[in-house]
Amino acid sequence: MTAIEALDAAWMREHPLPDPGGSGKDGRGQVLVVGGEVELAGAAMLAGVAALRAGAGKLQLAVAQDAVAALSVALPEARVLSLPRDGPDSARGHWTRLTEQAGHCDALLVGPGMMDDDSGLAAGLLAASQAIVVDAGALKAVTDAPPRSARILTPNAGEMAGLLGVSREKVEADPLAAGTQAAERFGAVVVAKGATTHVIHPDGRAGRYAGGGPGLGVSGSGDVLAGLIVGLLARGACPFDAAAWGVFLHGEAGARLASRIGRLGYLAREISTEAPSILSSF
């Protein structure tokens, strides 16, 4: 492995994001977020808002049918699709529509608000997009999928343990080693989330971000991080840079909220609101 780089403001200046210039929304990419089951449809909304805050131009969400109307009103910036319920055979229309949309988007995020993949939805979507972020309940599908260099995985310690078939304690004892193993095994950029977050490329490159603070350990925070990353990916950033920038934005937003609101107590929905001003400082 090469030397671990600090993912700080200097690194961001040395690795600028693609300049959208005067392009409209089509020039900044289209994001599709898939995974909002009815009890957790808000997770997809958190991720989708974060993608827009990161500068993506167009957004679609796919959530449980019972949540479509509510999210269409709560997030009028997005087109909201209905998730297939029981697999491709029993929900052929919705399944086909979703895979077609996945194939047409610039970046796909699968997993926020997905508790499992019993229908095989995540597994079916892993090959549907050239640029894909895999999070939460969709991560299990990666174990049976062929490697893809444009894929970004965002596991926490428990999810990493499940991916590698080891104990959570082993992952927490050496998260960089676990992330490196996962990056090599799955041929993907891995964001090993924790108090210190590592971003690891399958070629051995690695970055470390240790800022942010304990307030980021709040329900929905991981959905926001995944949304920031997929938004940057849609804008044209390479997978490693999109992941590194997303981790940095997420952490710096937490630091700003901590100084203004308090170390603890700010909400996940507030994190992505800080992203535009942080981006504008570069």
Cα 91 → chain centroid? 26
Q: Is 237 annotated as a binding residue?
A: no
Residue type, position 130, single letter = Q
Q: Is 116 annotated as a binding residue?
A: no
CA distance 37 to 43: 9
CA distance 43 to 113: 5
Query: Which residues in the chain show pLDDT less than 70?
Result: 1-2, 85-95, 118-119, 129, 148-149
Q: Is 106 annotated as a binding residue?
A: no
CA distance 25 to 220: 26
Q: Where are the alpha helices (DSSP H) in the chain?
A: 9-14, 41-53, 68-74, 92-104, 121-125, 157-164, 168-173, 175-186, 221-234, 239-260, 268-271, 275-280
Domains annotated on the chain, with CATH: 5-16+29-138+148-280 (3.40.1190.20)
Residue identified by tokens 């970046």 is 107
Q: Is 177 annotated as a binding residue?
A: no
Q: Is 58 annotated as a binding residue?
A: no
pLDDT given for residue 90 in this prediction: 47
Q: Is 192 annotated as a binding residue?
A: no
CA distance 268 to 250: 10
Beta bridge partners of 79: 60
pLDDT given for residue 85 in this prediction: 65
Q: Is 212 annotated as a binding residue?
A: no
Residue-wise pLDDT for 45-86, tens only, equals 999 999 999 999 999 999 999 999 999 999 999 999 998 765
Question: Rg for the chain (alpha carbons), in Å?
Answer: 17
Q: Is 194 annotated as a binding residue?
A: yes
Q: What is the reported pTM?
A: 0.94
Q: Is 196 annotated as a binding residue?
A: yes
Beta bridge partners of 37: none
